[in-house]
């Protein structure tokens, strides 16, 4: 039996997963869901909800955005990070690093340049959805 794998999805990738079913983020997260447990914390979930409900997404009915939030909560396993990391130049991104280290994640999926410049971080790969797809030999179905 293989060891359980864990992954962390940052907010921009999670939003892209829901807003673009033909996006690289959608393809990468769909694959990760098959091979890993996706980890979140209450802090990362709160950020996802905050961003999803922003006015810039008003073209999408709020009821649909709320269903995305509810669905995301069901997709992830919520843990309480026990390691606090403060290594990112953007302090708002430290929550993803703390989550990944605390949950023994193998990967953080992110398009955020501040996170990706730390790759690899304490043994955690930090890659964009595009890079993840390339590394796994997956292609974006169009």
pLDDT at residue 133 greater than cutoff 50: yes
**pLDDT for position 142:** 45
Let me know: does 119 contact 126? Beta carbons within 8 Å.
yes
Question: Buried (b) or exposed (e) across 117-141, using 16+ Cβ within 10 A?
Answer: ebeebeebbbbbbebbbeeeeeeee
Structure tokens at 110: 């992110």
Q: Which of 33, 37, 36, 41 is nearest to 98 (CA)?
A: 41
What is the average pLDDT across 37-59? 97
Fold observed for domain 6-136: Rossmann fold (3.40.50)
Q: Is the pLDDT of residue 1 over 70?
A: no
- Return d(Cα 140, Cα 134) in angstroms, integer: 10
pTM: 0.93
Indicate if the pLDDT at residue 141 is higher than 80.
Answer: no
- Mean pLDDT, the chain, rounded, equals 93
Q: What is the mean pLDDT of residues 106-112?
A: 96
């Amino acid at each position: 039996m293989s060891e359980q794998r864990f992954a962390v999805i940052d907010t921009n990738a999670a939003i892209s997963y829901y807003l673009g079913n033909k996006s690289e983020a959608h393809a990468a997260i769909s694959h990760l869901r098959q091979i890993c447990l996706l980890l979140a914390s209450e802090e990362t979930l709160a950020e996802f909800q905050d961003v999803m409900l922003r006015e810039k997404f008003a073209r999408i009915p709020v009821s649909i955005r709320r269903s995305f939030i509810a669905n995301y909560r069901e997709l992830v396993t919520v843990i309480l990070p026990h390691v606090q990391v403060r290594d990112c130049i953007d302090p708002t991104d430290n929550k993803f690093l703390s989550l990944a280290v605390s949950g023994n994640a193998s990967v953080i999926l992110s398009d955020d340049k501040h996170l990706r410049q730390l790759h690899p971080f304490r043994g955690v790969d930090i890659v964009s959805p595009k890079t993840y797809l390339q590394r796994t030999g997956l292609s974006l179905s169009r």
